[in-house]
A and B are shown apart, each in its own frame.
Chain A
Amino acid sequence: DIQLTQSPSFLSASVGDRVTITCRASQGISNYLVWCQQKPGKAPKLLISAASTLQSGVPSRFSGSGSGTEFTLTISSLQPEDFATYYCQQFNSYPLSFGGGTRVEIK
């Protein structure tokens, strides 16, 4: 089974900050990874597919990179609406798996 380890699990940042979240896979998953954002009481929203493909309608301040076992989600300039929890998910093999999540809060 493939484990995804996200870091940090929590971060406190200010509006305008550059934020980077890391997702490490226990074995190589090529680029079969997505990033999603979840706000309290809401379903997750897809931000990035195939490790680096920005979804239509998602602001360009979000970007994804990586391949194999190490992946990053970067928010270039944090906005008030970006305070949420972020998850990575792998689609390389079953059982599918999520990272533990990164909660981004206002400093």
Chain B
Amino acid sequence: DVEMLQSGGGLVQPGGSLRLSCAASGFTFSSLAMSWVRQAPGQGLEWVSTVSAGGGSTYYADSVKGRFTISRDNSKKKVYLQMNSLRVEDTAVYYCANGRQGYWGQGTLVTVSS
């Protein structure tokens, strides 16, 4: 069975940093692009970032460009999201996902507040 287990998240002050991790199993991780998607409280889904299967290409939403960095380690079957210079408006549940395949993590709450 496919499993995407997320870790990281929590409460951080504005301007702070946080790193999210997602460990995948049950599929050929190294052959699929992986994404992070977030959902602010009471709001819809927002695509954040994608890393290509090999890790050589990365894409970001304008709202996070220059502050967030996506990466992956295919040997460990993990994808990461390094979040720097966090803002109050980054508060959301963050999901790792491959939406085309329907693979989603359980979600992790990131709260940015003083």
Residue numbers of A with Cβ under 8 A of B are 34, 36, 38, 43-46, 49, 55, 85, 87, 89, 91, 94-101
Q: Which chain B residues lie closer than 8 Å to A34 at the CB level? A: 99-100, 102
A101 touches B45 (CB 8 A): yes
Q: Which chain B residues lie closer than 8 Å to A101 at the CB level? A: 44-45
B68 interface residue, CB < 8 Å from A?
no
Q: Which of A46, A55, A96, A100 contacts B44 (CB 8 A)?
A: A100
B25-37 contact mask (Cβ, 8 Å, vs A): 1 or 0? 0000000000101
Residue numbers of B with Cβ under 8 A of A are 35, 37, 44-47, 50, 59-62, 95, 97, 99-102, 104-107
B99 touches A46 (CB 8 A): yes
Total A-B pairs in contact (CB under 8 Å)? Answer: 55
A96 touches B35 (CB 8 A): yes
CA–CA, A31 to B14, complex, Å?
40
Q: Which chain A residues lie closer than 8 Å to B44 at the CB level? A: 85, 87, 98-101
Instruction: Give 20 A-B contacts (CB < 8 Å), ordered by A residue.
Output: A43-B97, A43-B107, A45-B102, A46-B101, A85-B44, A89-B45, A89-B99, A91-B99, A95-B47, A95-B62, A96-B35, A96-B50, A96-B99, A97-B47, A98-B37, A98-B45, A98-B47, A99-B44, A101-B44, A101-B45
Specify which of A45, A49, A96 lies most central, judged by the most chain B CB atoms within 10 Å of its CB: A96
Q: Which of A45, A46, A55, A94 contacts B50 (CB 8 A)?
A: A94
Q: Which chain B residues lie closer than 8 Å to A55 at the CB level? A: 102
A95 touches B59 (CB 8 A): yes
Contact flag A46-B102 (CB < 8 Å), given A95-B59, A95-B62: yes
